Chains A and B, each alone.
Chain A
């Protein structure tokens, strides 16, 4: 099946700094990628839909200036958590849908556990 690689898997940063998380589709082109956030023992919450070559679409309540999304190529989307606060500590995961034979299937990255101290 298609592969989505997410990096880093874990990151610890200081309050006030910015953290960039990368999501790559390794063997297919993803025009659309999704960014989710997951709090402990809760389900995934969609943060934003990342579209290649255009602005991301953010879900209600998600601050676009705080969670910057860039989808500059068909294989890479990045999420930057700016001016991180301890309450931003969470598990972030991306997914992409593959075209062609795997149309509609969702492939997930490994996730990034962010801890802000």
Chain B
């Protein structure tokens, strides 16, 4: 079974700061997802990646398959970025996801 570890567990940042959230996993995967969960509970899929790097607006996700590690970066953070960010991995041949425990981000004006 894949073990997914996220760090940090909690993160408080000032508006405008550059933020990095890390995710590591123990077993090879077919894809890694970064998800955003707002206080109301709804979950939005930010990225799905299996190699390299993806960028969407102020968000950047990278993955290193050899090191079994991914990072989510937020540039010029804003209070509306405050949410729980969850890393989830998918094994080959399956649609099932294994989730990290999440990183709670609070961006202060």
Q: Which residues of A line the B interface, CB within 8 A?
A: 1, 32, 34, 38, 42-44, 46, 49, 91, 93, 95, 97, 104-108, 110-111, 113
The verdict on B78 contacting chain A, using a C-beta distance below 8 Å, is: no
Q: How many residues of B contact A (CB 8 A)?
A: 21
The verdict on B44 contacting chain A, using a C-beta distance below 8 Å, is: yes
**11 residue pairs from A and B, CB less than 8 Å apart:** A34-B97, A38-B41, A42-B101, A43-B86, A43-B99, A44-B86, A105-B45, A105-B48, A106-B95, A111-B42, A111-B43
Nearest CB on A from B82, distance (A): 15
Q: Is B95 a contact partner of A108 (Cβ separation < 8 A)?
A: no
A113: which B residues are within 8 A, CB to CB?
A: 41
Q: Which residues of B line the A interface, CB within 8 A?
A: 30-31, 33, 35, 40-45, 48, 86, 88, 90, 95-97, 99-102
Q: Is A32 a contact partner of B95 (Cβ separation < 8 A)?
A: yes
Cα distance A113–B45 in the bound complex, in angstroms: 20
Partner of A108 from B44, B48, B96, B100 at Cβ < 8 Å: B44
Q: Say whether, besides A43-B100, A44-B99, A108 and B43 are in contact (CB < 8 Å).
A: yes
Cα distance A50–B38 in the bound complex, in angstroms: 25
